[in-house]
Structure formats: structure tokens, C-alpha cells
């Protein structure tokens, strides 16, 4: 109860990593934490990937998606609307796909 939001997030992630998974799903991993803690969580996620762990990140923050992802899956009405390689991907394309507007 006395830890910051960022430290709480780190502890939750550490508990799951203790099970030595091959894939980890992080749902809104930086929601509600300050910018410094966000950078630390992003750095930690990059370290996990460098160690061979697959990270699936669910996020509603477009800069986070574009900055952290190799591949982006856009969901619309509970279904996969499109899958993109992140090379050259922009926020406008993601928003149009999510809204069902031809990109």
C-alpha cells in the first residue's frame, strides 16, 4: 500500500516472471504511472525481449504502441481488424483501422 504505482507494477511483473514463462501478456502496463516509471517499465520490457521472452502488450496509448512494438494487432468489435509490421506505421493508420475506416 505504500509503494508508488510504478513500483507496484514492477512487483506484479516480477511475481509472474518468477514462474519462468515463455510469453507474458501485459495489459496497460503503464496506466496511471508517472513518466519516469513508464520509462523504467518500457526499459524492463525491452530487457525481457532481449532475453528471449515474448511480450504481448495491450495498450490504448498510441505513442506507447508505436514506440514499443515490433508488430501491432488492431482489434475492432472483438475481432482482429488488421496486423501491421511496425516499420513506417503511424497513429493515423491505427486509428482508421480501429474505427473501421479504410486506410
pLDDT tens digit string along 23-37? 999 999 888 888 888
The model carries a pTM of: 0.79
Helix ranges (H only) for 1-103 are 5-17, 35-50, 62-68, 91-99
C-alpha distances out from residue 67 to 18, 62, 92, Å: 27, 8, 15
Q: What is the DSSP letter of 93?
A: H
| In the chain, domain spans | 1-59, 70-103
Q: What is the DSSP letter of 1?
A: -
pLDDT tens digit string along 1-53? 788 776 777 788 788 888 889 999 999 988 888 888 888 889 988 998 999 99
Q: Domain spanning 1-59 has what CATH number?
A: 3.40.50.300
Amino acid at each position: 500500500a505504500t509503494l508508488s504505482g510504478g513500483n507496484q507494477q514492477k512487483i506484479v511483473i516480477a511475481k509472474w516472471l518468477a514462474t519462468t514463462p515463455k510469453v507474458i501478456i501485459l495489459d496497460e502496463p503503464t496506466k496511471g504511472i508517472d513518466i519516469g516509471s513508464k520509462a523504467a517499465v518500457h526499459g524492463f520490457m525491452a530487457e525481457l525481449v532481449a532475453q528471449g521472452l515474448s511480450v504481448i502488450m495491450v495498450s490504448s496509448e498510441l505513442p506507447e504502441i508505436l514506440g514499443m512494438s515490433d508488430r501491432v494487432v488492431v482489434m475492432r468489435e472483438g475481432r482482429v481488424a488488421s496486423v501491421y509490421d511496425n516499420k513506417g506505421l503511424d497513429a493515423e493508420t491505427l486509428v482508421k483501422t480501429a474505427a473501421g475506416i479504410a486506410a
